[in-house]
């Protein structure tokens, strides 16, 4: 039996209330997907993301577009991110 003090997932957090740049833990609180599936989708690029060291960071607006299956908005957001900081390779090194 689990105690009330154990941390349980709080899926269903409103994405609009999340920070504009989210960590995996924040993403897990907002979407009803498991940790392994989230990491798989991050590794394959299905969920748009940036790596900072070993950490994945995701833009809230791109997650919303991904959840809505809006490929054009996701692509536009990725292009804007790569143009802001230089090449995609430079962003990956951050």
10 pLDDT higher than 60: no
Residue 5 domain flag:
no
The range of the structural domain enclosing residue 54 comes to 15-93
Query: Stretch 11-36: mean pLDDT, rounded?
Result: 88
61 pLDDT higher than 60: yes
Any bridge partners for residue 59, and if so which?
21
The length of the chain in residues reads 94
Query: Stretch 51-57: mean pLDDT, rounded?
Result: 94
Residue 4 domain flag:
no
Residue 8 domain flag:
no
Query: Stretch 46-72: mean pLDDT, rounded?
Result: 89
Q: Which residue, 43, 39, 42, 83, is CA-closest to 59? A: 42
Residue 2 domain flag:
no
Q: How many domains does one find in the chain? A: 1
Residue 79 domain flag:
yes
Residue 47 domain flag:
yes
63 pLDDT higher than 70: yes
Residue 6 domain flag:
no
Q: What is the pLDDT of residue 78?
A: 62
Residues 6+ apart with CB under 8 A from 62: 47, 48, 73, 74, 77, 78
């Amino acid at each position: 039996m689990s105690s009330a003090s154990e941390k349980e997932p709080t899926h269903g957090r409103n994405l609009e209330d999340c920070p504009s740049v989210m960590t995996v833990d924040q993403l897990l609180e907002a979407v009803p997907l498991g940790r392994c599936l989230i990491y798989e989708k991050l590794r394959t690029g299905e969920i748009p993301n940036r790596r900072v060291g070993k950490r994945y960071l995701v833009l809230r607006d791109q997650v919303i577009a991904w959840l809505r299956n809006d490929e054009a908005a996701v692509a536009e957001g990725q292009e804007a991110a790569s143009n802001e900081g230089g090449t995609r390779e430079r962003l990956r090194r951050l």
